[in-house]
Amino acid sequence: MRLFAATLATETNTFSPIPTSLDSYREVVFLKPGEHPTDAPRMCTAPLFVARRRAAAEGFDLIEGSCFAASPAGLTSRQGYETMRDQILKELQAAMPVDGVLLGLHGAMVAHGYDDVEGDILERVRAVTGPGVVIGVELDPHCHLTIKRVQLADVIITYKEFPHTDVVERAEEVLDLVLARLRGTARPVMSVYDCRQIASYPTTLPLMRAFVDRIKALEGKDGILSISIAHCFPYGDVAELGTRVLVIADGDKAKGAALATRLGEELIGMRGKTAPDYLDVATAVGTAMAANAAPVVVAEPADNAGGGAPSDNTTVLRELIARGAEDAALGPIWDPVAVRLCFDAGLGAHFPLRFGGRTGPQSGQPVDATVEVTALVRDAWQSFGPTRVPVGDCAAVRIGGVDVVLISKRTQALGLELFSNVGIDPLTRKILVVKSTNHFMAAFGPIAKRVLYVDSDAPLARDYRRIAYTKVQRPIWPLDAETKPGIIY
């Protein structure tokens, strides 16, 4: 038995002012066949990683293809996408005949000329393999689960957890189902229910936690092989944006459709209740300053680099400075130029620095202040689970009672090292402001005495009615009050 595996992934914020080029992939994951490291999967490469580990023991040959992944930002260039896609297709062609294909995709990638990149990849992969080959796909739940993809693949599974702590487990399941289909021990059939809603579903909050635990308990019995919730990615303006429920049943499509409908209707009943409450900037800062337990973690999802935002909005920082906050730290602000200036000024320097507020109108105004350079670190990093995420050269600057972490490799706040690497002990701070939607919770949740969520004027508005969609199919909640949910596949 022969399986082929490859990855091509990013999360595209179609509103982001930061283009994604081939170089953006070279900076993150750009691995030729056989080059994938053995320690841990990289972004969206878990299907290949898992299949490599299991191949010998389970009696199949793995033919490795290339893996390409870039950090979330704006559209991928047409030429860049086609180059990477055609490279993988060429490798697949050379690997033929294969029995199965495993793809690690994100699911919310958009390139110039391609609104449904993953659908395009699947169409071309299917054209190479023909109809008999089993295609299994792992997607991030922040994806657009288009009908085209479900028609072309045999098995699609998304991560269940947000923060995404179950990437490897879900990849194991993709492989399990592909192998079961090939061995004739299961016949996966997919059904999709469209909830017609845009929403955020952190699984760290009680309602979604209970929901995810419940759907996990439904799997592996009574003919239900797998259940995925495609949360949606609200910042990708494409036709099929929206929350969808995908059930894979063993041969019985009607049974899968019935369960998808039941779960989809439950999610509709949870509209407006799955995301935390968002405070305006003044209220969030005021509440954090008045709290008597420390640290208070203030999350700013609207400037989350993990959703394609620049991470250089200064509105929350300016509020902290204006109100004279003490023992506060904020990070990260992506500003490679300011980092360079801090290195040039030197450790301990007090000097006038302009930083932040650079990339676009939703970055706000830059901060102009006399700062003290309190730390300079080359090639810094932070942890996200077992993964080390580079933040590049890094500087910490102090303005009054506020410390700011400036980074040169754009990424969201994930690990405590973001602060501790530059001498800021997150445990002893009264206020920690982190630019992240929910991934920060894995590391900062356990140390936070309280978590507040702020909705700023940065680009990832939490009120989706403020987003200038042009392509999203209507009606859809919360843009429209009346919607028509139902089974679409």
Per-residue x/- track, 454-483, Zn ion (CB under 5 A): ------------------------------
CB closer to Zn ion out of 240 and 393 = 240
Determine if 64 is a binding residue for Zn ion (CB under 5 A): no
As measured in angstroms, the least distance from the Cβ of 54 to Zn ion is: 25
As measured in angstroms, the least distance from the Cβ of 148 to Zn ion is: 21
Closest CA to 347 of 370, 374, 369: 374
Interface size with Zn ion, residues (CB under 5 A): 2
Closest CA to 234 of 403, 462, 475: 462
As measured in angstroms, the least distance from the Cβ of 163 to Zn ion is: 9
As measured in angstroms, the least distance from the Cβ of 51 to Zn ion is: 22
Distance CA 355, CA 405 (A): 11
As measured in angstroms, the least distance from the Cβ of 417 to Zn ion is: 21
CB closer to Zn ion out of 33 and 306 = 306
As measured in angstroms, the least distance from the Cβ of 23 to Zn ion is: 23
Specify the pairing of strand 224-230 against strand 244-250: antiparallel
Residues 296, 452 contacting (CB under 8 angstroms): yes
Residues 402, 356 contacting (CB under 8 angstroms): no
CB closer to Zn ion out of 142 and 358 = 142
Distance CA 298, CA 433 (A): 5
Residues 420, 447 contacting (CB under 8 angstroms): no
Query: 442-445: which pairs have CB atoms within 8 A and are 24 or more residues apart?
Result: 442/163, 442/165, 442/384, 442/385, 442/414, 443/383, 443/384, 443/414, 443/415, 443/416, 444/297, 444/413, 444/416, 445/204, 445/297
CB closer to Zn ion out of 410 and 429 = 410
Per-residue x/- track, 359-378, Zn ion (CB under 5 A): --------------------
Which residue type is seen at 251? Answer: G
Residues between 273 and 302 that touch Zn ion (CB under 5 A): none
CB closer to Zn ion out of 6 and 167 = 167
Chain residue at closest Cβ approach to Zn ion: 142
Distance CA 180, CA 141 (A): 24
Residues 445, 342 contacting (CB under 8 angstroms): no
As measured in angstroms, the least distance from the Cβ of 5 to Zn ion is: 21
The full DSSP string for 460-483 is S-SSGGGS--SSS-SS-BTT-S--
Residues between 231 and 260 that touch Zn ion (CB under 5 A): none
CB closer to Zn ion out of 120 and 166 = 166
Report the interhelical angle of 206-218 vs 253-269 (nearest 10°).
170
Q: Could you tell me the two tokens for 237?
A: 């303006």
CA dihedral 26, 32, 34, 36 (to 10 degrees): 20
CB closer to Zn ion out of 120 and 161 = 161
As measured in angstroms, the least distance from the Cβ of 375 to Zn ion is: 31
Distance CA 214, CA 207 (A): 11
As measured in angstroms, the least distance from the Cβ of 208 to Zn ion is: 14
Residues between 125 and 154 that touch Zn ion (CB under 5 A): 140, 142
CB closer to Zn ion out of 140 and 166 = 140
CB closer to Zn ion out of 133 and 145 = 145
Closest CA to 403 of 347, 299, 329: 329
Contacts with Zn ion, residue ranges (CB under 5 A): 140, 142
